Amino acid sequence: MEKKDYRPMWKDLGLNLEGHDQLLAVLGNAYKDIYMSQENRPKAMQYLDFVISEAHGLRIEELMEEKRKGNKVIGTFCVYVPEELISAVGGTCVGLCAGAEIGIDEAEKVLPRNTCALIKSFMGFKLAGLCPYIQASDLVVGETTCDGKKKAYEILNDYKETYVMEIPQMKTERDRALWKGEVLQFKERVEEIAGRKVTPENLRQGIKIVNEKRRALQRLSQIRRAAPPPISGLDALLVNQISFYDNPLRFTRNIHTLCDELEERVRNGMGVAKNGTPRILVSGSPMALPNWKIPYVVETSGAIVVAEESCVGERSTRDLVQEDGKSLDKMIDAIVDRYMKIDCACFTPNEERIEHILDLARDSKADGVIHYSIQFCTPYSVESYKVEKTLQQKNIPVLKIESDYGMEDVGQLKTRVEAFLEMVKG
Ligand code: SF4
């Protein structure tokens, strides 16, 4: 089937057409090399392949159609933004492009060179005119998770209106009160943008939609605990990445179809790696689409990734919002409590995260943990010391990696990962 020409839509959105064509060509090739070269992929991954191939096409067309109907699109960069409130007013929450080394020259005109690749990436995507999601967004929502993002949003606001939520840094009652104030203020902003009120009925529905999406992802993460695992870490990461872009109802349905197939594989003892292949838990900074570097390195070095302790992974799917709130206030409280449980490294102290890593290493039967920090990501890099120390005390092998989005260090990373895997096997 011939592909539809989306260029008129991209032009209307103000994209840099030439640069965007180049970006799609590079991404298409990377996807072919990294994803399509895998063997024995589940059939249901075809849905994800399709979504990826239409991420800048059909999905944007759907969002534009929603906008024509008067529904709003809200772009986000972080799992702290309560999607339930956006869904309640008929809006769509989309994760914004931040996982590729794009528009670096433009980004470095406004940001210091030594900045986290994720921050440089979202700035680069916007300044180079290459992200249709930010162009389609009626509002961009940032948050104060780290100093780099917090200050970068002030600059991004010069190019696209950016609303910033204040994330507390501790988990006392005072911090919860601050966070509740932030959630209520965000609710007002969302109502203002959408021209609709959040009501107990529509919020109940919003909570349900987002919980169902998380339940499907939780099911996937349970199935990956099987030995041998029926799906690669690369494919599972892709599912988590796409959860930030796709229509939530359709996504949930398709992930259950994938899980049905994976359960069948488990029943038949069929896996994507032989029994005895080292199982790796990857923990740390988020891997935004299309950052596939670490699972690619691990899975082309003779191991398999069985879980991600990350915002694009367990950190965003582990907890649900309680669904039994009878009044709007009770539902807001349930949202506040659920989001306060997120164990981002921006919190201090953050012992829960270390407990969660230990639990996940045990439950996913990981033979070793790779702690990944994006270079210049101070919260995760500094916290890696405590993570490493605790894992070593429990005799769980751990390797710390710092990297950016460039591919120059892949050879060197492979050497380190292979040496680590020898130790894990030994
Ligand atoms: S990866 Fe680290 S430095 Fe980058 S935005 Fe996230 S918390 Fe901030």
Separation between Cα atoms, residue 326 and residue 102, nearest integer Å: 46
Q: How confident is the model at residue 425 (pLDDT cuts 50, 70, 90)?
A: confident
Please calculate the CA angle 396-282-224 and round it to the nearest 5 degrees: 95
Question: Which residues have any ligand 1 atom within 6 Å of their CB?
Answer: 116, 118-119, 145-146, 148-149, 285, 374, 377, 379-380
Distances, alpha carbon 49 to alpha carbons 41, 108, 239, 241, 342, in Å: 11, 32, 10, 12, 30
For all residues of the chain together, what is the average pLDDT? 97
| Across 393-413, average pLDDT | 97
Q: How confident is the model at residue 3 (pLDDT cuts 50, 70, 90)?
A: confident
CA of residue 78 to ligand 1 center, whole Å: 10
Which token pair is 55?
Answer: 């991420």
What does the pLDDT look like over 198-207, one tens digit per residue?
999 999 999 9
What pLDDT sits at residue 426? 77
Q: Whose CA is nearest to atom 3 of ligand 1?
A: 377
What does the pLDDT look like over 269-321, one tens digit per residue?
999 999 999 999 999 999 999 999 999 999 999 999 999 999 999 999 999 99
- In the chain, what are the domain boundaries? 12-341+350-425
CA 213 to chain centre: 13
Q: How confident is the model at residue 62 (pLDDT cuts 50, 70, 90)?
A: very high
Cis? peptide before 8, omega within 30° of 0: no
Q: Whose CA is nearest to atom 7 of ligand 1?
A: 146
| Across 135-163, average pLDDT | 98
What pLDDT sits at residue 1? 59
The beta strand positions in 321-403, using DSSP E, are 368-374, 398-403
What does the pLDDT look like over 222-275, one tens digit per residue?
999 999 999 999 999 999 999 999 999 999 999 999 999 999 999 999 999 999
Separation between Cα atoms, residue 159 and residue 145, nearest integer Å: 21
DSSP 134-190: HHH-SEEEEE-SSHHHHHHHHHHTTTS-EEEEPPPSS-SHHHHHHHHHHHHHHHHHH
Contact 326, 360 (CB under 8 A): no
- Closest-lying ligand 1 atom to the alpha carbon of residue 344: 7
State the DSSP code for 99.
S
- Closest-lying ligand 1 atom to the alpha carbon of residue 286: 1
What pLDDT sits at residue 414? 98
The pLDDT > 70 percentage for the chain reads: 100
pTM of structure:
0.97
| Across 95-122, average pLDDT | 96
What does the pLDDT look like over 65-89, one tens digit per residue?
999 999 999 999 999 999 999 999 9
Q: How confident is the model at residue 2 (pLDDT cuts 50, 70, 90)?
A: low
Q: Whose CA is nearest to atom 2 of ligand 1?
A: 377
Which token pair is 137?
Answer: 């967004």
pLDDT(380) > 80? yes
Q: Whose CA is nearest to atom 8 of ligand 1?
A: 146
Separation between Cα atoms, residue 347 and residue 279, nearest integer Å: 29
State the DSSP code for 75.
E
Contact 296, 34 (CB under 8 A): yes
